[in-house]
Structure 1
Amino acid sequence: MLDGIGVPRWPAYGAAVWALLFAAVSFYWALGGTALLDTIGEAVTGPALSGDPAVVAAVWLSALLKLAGVPGALALAQRWGTLFPRWLVLLAGWGVTALLCLYGGASLVQQVLMVAGVVDVSAAFRPVLLWHLFLWTPVWLAGGVLYGIATFFFARATRVADAAPR
């Protein structure tokens, strides 16, 4: 269905690379890596560095969920993605898009308001506010945009393919 109809695949491949890189950072942290950990915030880094089992488990779960985004993204561009019911692929694609964009968008608004002095910043979050505003929040939004564009193209391509005369 997706072959030969001119569907741009770069958004899905971009989303897959995004998910893989984002998962790699979490796997690195789960395995004890510390680079960029100080950009997250003391509420997470303190317990993580002390080996708090709940935090370590949450980081592993986060890494696995992000890694699951790789085949999810590829299903939006590869022929094998059409082996699944169209509604299921679209539900997953739009669902991931919504979650990433809502989280990133809400974070962006909150962080801009913090920088502007409209919303108070906790002492624990103040040192990492700009890291979130200029690194982590755009990362979440970039994933949402890539998934959204990929899902749009999948929806359009499979609708056209389903409607084509047989």
Structure 2
Amino acid sequence: MSINSGKGTRWGYAVAVWGVLFAIPSFLWAMGSTFGARSTVAPELMRLAQDRVPWFLAVLWVTVFLKLVGAAIGIGLTRLRSRPARRSLVFCGGGAAVLLIWHGGLFVVHGILVETGAAAVDPDLAGLTRWYLYLWGPWFIAGGLAFAAATVRYLHSGGRRFAATGALGALLLSLVSTAAGIG
């Protein structure tokens, strides 16, 4: 049973496509390819992938898995589910929306600060900063907005409290990881 006809489910499918597309680079890097990594990710991360460091490969595989789970959540947000499943979908959708928008926003703000000269970066990383400003930041934000739209459309079937809880939890997690220098 569809929760909304046509337009309402498109956002869930957009999340699914976004998640699968986002999983592809991580999958390629986990398999040993550096396609797209050389100019678009931090050199330290590329070295870890090239050197096939076991813990980093595990992180890449977990990342692939989580991105595909995000795609599955998108699909889940297109259909009415039982109450516990609905709560989980809304919790995860709200959390993903906030986490992705926040993370992408940090990339964009940092990139703007570097581009305007308000913040300095090692000259060797200037090109990388532009990739984060023009590619990765907007990509994270686009995914977050798709999750937000899919979750809002899904909320018509109930569960607003769970979306807010997921969103606040994601924001708290992001703030703590940023403060700890992880995010």
**RMSD, aligned CA:** 2.0
1:16-54: CA deviation from partner (whole Å, max 9, x where unpaired): 000011112211111011210111021211121111112
Secondary structure in 1 matching 2:132:
helix
Equivalence map 1:14-163=2 (5 Å): 14-38=14-38, 39-79=40-80, 82-85=81-84, 86-156=86-156, 158-159=157-158
Quick one: percent identity of the two aligned structures? 30
Which letter does structure 2 place at the counterpart of 1:155?
L
2-structure distance, mates of 1:15, 1:89: 13
2-structure distance, mates of 1:135, 1:48: 20
Which letter does structure 1 place at the counterpart of 2:148?
G
1-structure distance, mates of 2:115, 2:123: 13
CA contact (8 A) 2:110 2:133 kept: no
The structure-2 alpha-carbon separation of the partners of 1:131 and 1:3, relative to structure 1 and needing over 3 Å to count, comes to closer
1-structure distance, mates of 2:27, 2:118: 36
CA contact (8 A) 2:12 2:75 kept: yes
Q: How far did 1:6 drift?
A: 6.4
Give 4+ residue runs of structure 1 displaced > 6 Å after superposition: none
The structure-2 alpha-carbon separation of the partners of 1:33 and 1:147, relative to structure 1 and needing over 3 Å to count, comes to same
Secondary structure in 1 matching 2:118:
coil
Instruction: In structure 1, list runs of 5 or more residues that go unmatched.
Output: 160-166
Q: How far did 1:13 drift?
A: 0.3
The equivalent of 1:162 in structure 2 is none
Structure scoring higher RCO (CA < 8 A, sep ≥ 6) equals 1
1:115-145: CA deviation from partner (whole Å, max 9, x where unpaired): 1111111345323111111111111111001
Instruction: In structure 2, list runs of 5 or more residues that go unmatched.
Output: 159-183
Secondary structure in 2 matching 1:9:
helix
The structure-2 alpha-carbon separation of the partners of 1:109 and 1:4, relative to structure 1 and needing over 3 Å to count, comes to closer
CA contact (8 A) 1:72 1:93 kept: yes
Give the structure with higher Rg (CA): 1
The structure-2 alpha-carbon separation of the partners of 1:152 and 1:124, relative to structure 1 and needing over 3 Å to count, comes to same
The structure-2 alpha-carbon separation of the partners of 1:3 and 1:103, relative to structure 1 and needing over 3 Å to count, comes to closer
1-structure distance, mates of 2:17, 2:4: 23
The structure-2 alpha-carbon separation of the partners of 1:4 and 1:148, relative to structure 1 and needing over 3 Å to count, comes to closer
Paired residues, what number? 157
- The TM-score, its normalising length taken from structure 1, stands at 0.86
- The TM-score, its normalising length taken from structure 2, stands at 0.78
CA contact (8 A) 2:111 2:129 kept: yes
